[in-house]
Structure 1
């Protein structure tokens, strides 16, 4: 298999937004990622790590961690949010370039309607043509800004967002040229959406430029909760405890010759029961035992 570099990220400690009450202090997260034997991390939302570039670099360097990049988790689907989204993109690119990262992950944030129907394609409302064109426009603008700074933009299909199901992934990849942006395939969000991650990897291998590796608890998913309620109920679990077929994923990665980063994640609520660091260590151990990373 080609070279796959496993990474960690603050999301495994519940850090989706920098200002969420109950977020752990960054030292806890960075120490936990390093303790899992990882040499790389996604930075998390802008403002979580120190905004001062020197302080952020020093915090990573002290633990032997390199930066992969970070995400923008915002309302890509809302035309009126375009300027806000692009401002978030600019802030993320400052953080990425200051720490030597290379990936900008673009994620459409669930709104109320889609969060309620996460994982259920037949029930989920779809964007009309004007809103879809606006989403594509902001993705392409974000990707252009990223490219100008030497960073590669990748779009992340996400449960509860308007790029979640297979028809939406196909529609996006048709609208955004490969020269402009790649695909970040998240195994957990694919499973949540009812897709086979290995099949998606094989089908879209030429566009896959980043990976998020996570697993889904079958019993929680079957309850058909809204997305945020499902997170609180533990829909994402340590890799190997849920629906993810590691052997098939490994085979698919070998088939497409994937090389690059794979961030090991377990979305959760800040302060939820369990030990994020221990879960990360277990996930990393199982991935490596399966020949991934």
Structure 2
């Protein structure tokens, strides 16, 4: 009889890192372990994985841990980072802004406690590049659609840039909601800026340069309209969740910026009518338009910013 060898399934340490970390930090025993035992657990977890992966996973697991567990970890993690050599990795990640915005301040605090000079981190230049806005109010007498885009440098040396463009619709049923988005590829900054202007100049549309505060206010105001109109976020925007959090939600507030959190984002990603369904109806049947007296009519085959000429923007 021939014995068959069982296939060995190799699971990489990186795959199991987050579950193992979650299990350790969810255990009430963590609260009663001494510092040496917790550091020993961290040493084991950090084996055979890259420093970048470990630090990123550590912050995500920390955010998911209980308040009591976080308090205990606050006592140990900064010193362990310094002793293990991972503080240098964390410092680089803070400089590159590769962490989620809501843990950037925590990361800086841990670095300071670990003995790292954070003066240059606190004064690092913003990666914000440009923001542009356009609406068609001058053309129609009131806004029908609008466009806002945010561009940012993707590295501190400012060699490449990327952006997110938001298309807003003020016709029913959108009533000011985000209708679609486009995430641009990474390009040299000058090339990206030229591309954005070239796309919109085709239709004689001149973009207005705006500040980061106004850009954030326009975008978040539109998202409150999504919530009120019960329209889900566009599929591409849900996929760009991390970019939205890092590059839009982290922009400075203006005096009229509405409150909006990533919990609100996640709610809108799961609830409401799918915008792709509404756009499909508009493309195949017609669009609803609200007249000056409030009456709504259905306009068949009306061409505007969804034409192929502006596809994706």
| TM-score, shorter chain, exceeding 0.5 | no
Q: Determine which structure has greater relative contact order: mean sequence separation of CA pairs < 8 Å that are 6+ residues apart, divided by chain length.
A: 1
